[in-house]
Structure 1
Amino acid sequence: MGDMMAVTFRSIFEVTRAEWLGGLGIPEEDIPDVVILEGSWWRAERQKARLQHLTDVRELGFPDIFWGRHGDKKVVFCMAYGAPRAVEVSQIFAQLGCKLVIQIGTCGGLQSHLAPGDIIVPDVIRCEDGVAEHYVDGATINAAPHWIARAQSALQTRGRTVYIGPHVTFSSLFAESVEMYEYWHKDGLLSVEMESATTLAAAAKYGVPGVSMVVVWDELTAGRRFMDPMTPGALAELEISNEAVFAAALTLTEEVT
């Protein structure tokens, strides 16, 4: 075989600051203070509702990533369903130097005292999503204690029931089994969803703090999944809390220095 040409491989970790800014189409001064991610099937509905609370909104060079302002703070918002998408947004802006990453969305409750509309603010998150493990040493990622406390306060001020405790991020809603639920339940985990561990782990790799606020939808210990009917009262609580987590995220944004 003749001489082989030299091949140079490049990782996404080697993309330069200038390249990211160029791809996003923003100057240095528009690097966001806060990045808010939300995981939901109802992308168009949620996106429209969230962006109306920001000003000077524009879509950046990469699709579905929106830049805007909340008061004097710069915010990026993205509907990012699942860890493989969430990691991209979190990593890009943490690498660029944002100050806080916030994950919101819904979750399945793993303890019987949890009801639709209750809000989980995880402190320790198990990384079982297949992505976060590439960003952490070990099997868990911790949310930032200061921002946990501030999130709890912002949510309780809005009359929401808040639980702080252990949580798990798993790879796929459809791949979860009853055996998994039983194991997580017996292990004392409060809830399960698909983005928080990776969002926070990617941010932490670059020294950026993160916090998650997820609303209980599924009552897994009662065998009720999101496809099953809810009482009008439970549905109302779910909707109120879905609004409250974004409002609380904006409150935290105001507190970033």
Structure 2
Amino acid sequence: MKLYRDYAKGDWLDILSLHVHQVPKSMIIHGEWEPHENLKYWTHFFGEKAILPKWNTVIGSYKDRMIGFSNVYGSPMAANIVHQFGGAGTDLFIQSGYIGGLSDEIKYGDIIIVSEVELGEGVSKQYAPHFRTLKTKSELVQMAVMFCEQENIRYHVGKIHSTSSLLVETEEDITNWSKDGCLGVEMECGTTFAVAASFNKRAIGLFQISDHLIHGDSVFFSNEERDFIERETDEVIRKIALYLAEKG
């Protein structure tokens, strides 16, 4: 009997209905509840030759290089995508999305480049059981920093925490994660890093603040200014992600 963990590259290519030349070299894994606008954006970006191997995933050519985008929410969903595409041959996974802010240094609209992620959710333990944290390859961090410097983008490099659910975070959790030096907390990055590492693939995270937790802000109660900043910063993160997807 052949179990899922025993599937080889050919199996995943068949499951994804992709030829080898269609497998994205780099893939943007975006964590967000609402997928429709993101999928619409990337389908339009890739144009008529866009490939949709799954309901939440779009693949296309960018500067003669195949890249992909997948909209996920939570660690199990992230694992499902990264495992299949990692098995099929994707080399670089770029996790993007939103964090709850844990540092006074970070402002709305700033970019957080992940150098290290704490594995606080459950799925990563299945892929990296002996690790408390995983680190980004230094050359990927340097590439992201260089792009931000060139484009005059405000950024921070540091550690974040991945958790299983934002709705059960306590004040004690927030305080402890902040004291531990985490810049923010989210739900997918730890899993993306762990699954990628299990396939000897690379991963990096690019985030913005959705709610400044240490200031008492809530993701459920925003305002026009924060919404505008979020939309503008989404586009900045896409530019950085595309640069990494092309050059990485």
TM-score clears 0.5: yes
CA distance in 2, matches of 1:155, 1:91: 29
Structure 2: unaligned runs, 5 residues or longer = none
- Residue in 2 aligned with 1:122? 114
Following TM superposition, by how much is the alpha carbon of 1:229 offset from its aligned partner in structure 2, in angstroms? 3.1
Give the residue type in structure 2 aligned to 1:78. Answer: S
TM-score by length of structure 2 reads 0.93
- Residue in 1 aligned with 2:166? 173
TM-score by length of structure 1 reads 0.90
SS in 2 for 1:52: helix
Aligned CA distance change for structure 1 residues 66 and 229 (closer, same or farther; 3 Å): closer
Give the residue type in structure 2 aligned to 1:70. Answer: Y
CA distance in 2, matches of 1:116, 1:75: 28
Give the residue type in structure 1 aligned to 2:208. Answer: V
Give the residue type in structure 2 aligned to 1:206. Answer: F
- Number of residue pairs the alignment of both structures matches: 246
1:78 pairs with 2:73 = no
1:207 pairs with 2:203 = no
Following TM superposition, by how much is the alpha carbon of 1:96 offset from its aligned partner in structure 2, in angstroms? 2.1
| Structure 2 residue corresponding to 1:68, chosen from 60, 79, 97 | 60
CA distance in 1, matches of 2:236, 2:45: 13
| Structure 1 residue corresponding to 2:190, chosen from 194, 197, 213 | 197
1:147 pairs with 2:140 = yes
The answer on whether the counterparts of 1:33 and 1:100 sit within 8 Å (CA) in structure 2 is: yes
Q: Select between 13-22 and 49-58 the one with higher mean Cα deviation.
A: 49-58
The answer on whether the counterparts of 1:158 and 1:244 sit within 8 Å (CA) in structure 2 is: no
1:41 pairs with 2:37 = no
- Bigger radius of gyration among the two: 1
- Residue in 2 aligned with 1:97? 89
The answer on whether the counterparts of 2:35 and 2:56 sit within 8 Å (CA) in structure 1 is: no
The answer on whether the counterparts of 2:8 and 2:87 sit within 8 Å (CA) in structure 1 is: no
Aligned CA distance change for structure 1 residues 186 and 46 (closer, same or farther; 3 Å): same
SS in 2 for 1:190: strand
Give the residue type in structure 1 aligned to 2:133. Answer: T
CA distance in 2, matches of 1:243, 1:194: 21
Aligned CA distance change for structure 1 residues 14 and 140 (closer, same or farther; 3 Å): same
Which structure: greater helix fraction? 2
CA distance in 2, matches of 1:254, 1:83: 26
Following TM superposition, by how much is the alpha carbon of 1:231 offset from its aligned partner in structure 2, in angstroms? 5.9
Give the residue type in structure 1 aligned to 2:69. Answer: F
- Residue in 2 aligned with 1:3? none
The answer on whether the counterparts of 1:117 and 1:239 sit within 8 Å (CA) in structure 2 is: no
SS in 1 for 2:50: strand
Please tell me the root mean square deviation across aligned C-alpha atoms, in Å. 1.6
Identical aligned pairs, as a percentage? 25
Deviation string 1:168-191 (CA, Å, 9 cap, x unpaired) is 010111121111101111111111
The answer on whether the counterparts of 2:114 and 2:157 sit within 8 Å (CA) in structure 1 is: yes
CA distance in 1, matches of 2:232, 2:159: 23
| Structure 1 residue corresponding to 2:3, chosen from 6, 11, 14 | 11
The answer on whether the counterparts of 2:33 and 2:72 sit within 8 Å (CA) in structure 1 is: no
Give the residue type in structure 2 aligned to 1:28. Answer: V
Aligned CA distance change for structure 1 residues 202 and 153 (closer, same or farther; 3 Å): same
Q: Select between 38-47 and 154-163 the one with higher mean Cα deviation.
A: 154-163
Instruction: Report matched runs for 1:103-118 at 5 Å.
Output: 103-118=95-110
CA distance in 2, matches of 1:77, 1:53: 11
Following TM superposition, by how much is the alpha carbon of 1:159 offset from its aligned partner in structure 2, in angstroms? 3.3
SS in 1 for 2:67: strand
Structure 1: unaligned runs, 5 residues or longer = 1-7
